[in-house]
Amino acid sequence: MEILNTIAEMRARVRAQMLAQTRAAIRATPTRAPAGLGLVPTMGALHAGHLSLVSAARNDCDLVAVSIFVNPTQFAPNEDFARYPRTFDADCALLEDAGVDLIFAPSVEEMYPRTTPDGPTGAGTSVLVEGVSDRLDGASRPGHFRGVTTVVSKLFNIVAPDRAYFGQKDAAQVAVLRQMVRDLNFDLELVVCPIVRDSDGLALSSRNQYLSAEQRSQALILRRALLRVESLVAAGESATATLLAEARAVLNQEPAIRLDYLAAVDPDTLLDVSTIHKTTLVAIAAYAGPTRLIDNILLGPR
Residue numbers annotated as active site: 50
In the complex with ligand PAF, the residue whose CB is nearer, 140 or 217, is 140
**Strand ranges, E, within 36-188:** 37-42, 63-68, 102-104, 163-167
Binding mask 53-82 for ligand PAF (x = CB under 6 A): ------------------x--x--------
> Which range, of 4-12, 35-43, 79-87, 126-134, touches ligand PAF by CB under 6 A?
35-43
Q: Measuring CA to CA, which residue among 34, 36, 101, 90 is closest to residue 67?
A: 101
At 259, which amino acid appears?
A: L
CA distance 165 to 54: 8
- Strands 291-299 and 280-288, bridge-based pairing: antiparallel
> Which range, of 20-28, 96-104, 147-155, 278-286, touches ligand PAF by CB under 6 A?
147-155
Q: Is 42 in the site for ligand PAF (CB under 6 A)?
A: yes
Of 10, 43, 54, 288, which one interacts with ligand PAF (CB under 6 A)? 43
| Cβ–Cβ < 8 Å for 129, 149 | yes
Q: Is 295 in the site for ligand PAF (CB under 6 A)?
A: no
CA distance 218 to 193: 26
- CA dist list (Å): 164 to 138, 160, 190: 22, 10, 5
| Cβ–Cβ < 8 Å for 224, 259 | no
Size of the site for ligand PAF (CB under 6 A): 10
At 163, which amino acid appears?
A: R
CA distance 169 to 192: 9
Of 152, 204, 247, 281, which one interacts with ligand PAF (CB under 6 A)? 152
Minimum distance, C-beta of residue 41 to ligand PAF, in the bound complex (Å): 4
Minimum distance, C-beta of residue 295 to ligand PAF, in the bound complex (Å): 15
> Which range, of 8-16, 144-152, 224-232, 263-271, touches ligand PAF by CB under 6 A?
144-152
In the complex with ligand PAF, the residue whose CB is nearer, 251 or 285, is 285
- Interface with ligand PAF by CB under 6 A: which residues? 41-43, 71, 74, 148, 151-152, 170, 173
